[in-house]
Structure 1
Amino acid sequence: MVQHSFPSDHHRSLDVLNGAWQTTIIALEPDGSAGGMSHATDIYSWLPNGQFLMHEVDAMMGSQRVQSIEIIGINRTTGEFFSRSYDPDGSTNDFVSRIDERNYTIKGKSQRFVGCFSDDGSQLTGEWTQLDGDHWSPFVRIVLEKKL
């Protein structure tokens, strides 16, 4: 859904994600070296009320198809985004994220992401890490390219 007006500037900053993206996923070994590669389609669209952004993921991880949904909302007081992902195994994960200019950070209990948008907003690159005992280990590197 194309959003022409936004309830707040925070909503407007989140609109950089709106649209369909082709995603390359590179698995990372604990030492940070590259492993296998997978592909996904990520679609972000505003819900009819304009308050929430829905994120649909359709990925092939090896020979396994993985689909999930995430709903992203805005905390207008802090400017942070909150989200909950609904995963194929029935689990959910909660995250808090922020977009500062071109930088995009996501923090969860056991996963976090640090990424950067290209100048024109057509590409997002970054790396997910996950909590492994008491330290954070590289998990995947991603490149999202917006479909036109």
Structure 2
Amino acid sequence: MDPSHEVGKGPPAAMPQETREQAPSLGPEHQRLETFIGEWKSEGVLGEAAGPQARLKVTADAHYEWLPGGFFVLHQGVMRFGEDRLESTQILGFDASTGRYWIRLFDNHGFARDYEGQEQDGVWHFAGAHERVTMSFENANQQLNIHWEQSDDGVTWRLLCDLKGTRVH
């Protein structure tokens, strides 16, 4: 019931018709995200941007799956280094209005980050306010190289971590 409408005073005034947003349509850009789908195990090392944890070995497990509708990919991952672990959830998608891919990331350390990027010849580049990542697929998309960098000023970039992943399913 509309709280602004008094009982017994007749129907509420007609509201103007809302303009409906055009629904997106699936395209080849969405299908390119298929290369991520599956289970991945990775190993690597933290770089100088990780501060006191630099040079620690890293292991990671990641799961990528399509969300219903096929427009977005859900990523859930755990990265272990020393006594610490980084758990993250990401959603990957494509914005047809800008022609760019994007990632929305949330992690157990309390960070929520947005990245925007592109794919060319199997190499994905995403950048955010203080971090950027390059992900390249090899060996018929069964191996994934991940190179994260961090910057305080957007000019000088330092290695955050390097990972080499293998598709396990």
Q: Using structure 2 for the length normalisation, give the TM-score.
A: 0.75
Identity %: 24
Q: 2:148 aligns with which of 128, 132, 143?
A: 128
Pair 1:110-2:123 in alignment: no
Structure 2 residue aligned with 1:140: 161
Q: Is the 8 A contact 2:102 2:117 kept in 1?
A: yes
Cα displacement (A) at 1:119 = 4.2
* Greater radius of gyration (CA): 2
Show the 5 A alignment for 1:74-85. 74-85=94-105
1:29 aligns with 48
5+ residue gaps, structure 2, are: 1-24
Greater per-residue strand proportion: 1
Partner Cα separation in structure 1 for residue 131 and residue 166 of structure 2:
22
Query: Corresponding residue for 1:59?
Result: 79
| Offset at residue 42 of structure 1 (A) | 0.8
TM-score normalized with structure 1 length: 0.85
Q: Secondary structure at the match of 1:10?
A: helix
Distance in 2 of aligned mates of 1:137 and 1:103:
20
| Equivalent position of 1:3 in the other structure | none
Count of residue pairs brought into register by the alignment: 140
**Paired position in structure 2 for 1:18:** 37
Distance across 1 between alignment mates of 2:58 and 2:146:
15
1:84-110: CA deviation from partner (whole Å, max 9, x where unpaired): 101112220000122212211111110
Structure 1 unaligned blocks of 5 or more = 1-5
* Partner Cα distance (1:91, 1:36) in 2: 21
RMSD: 1.9
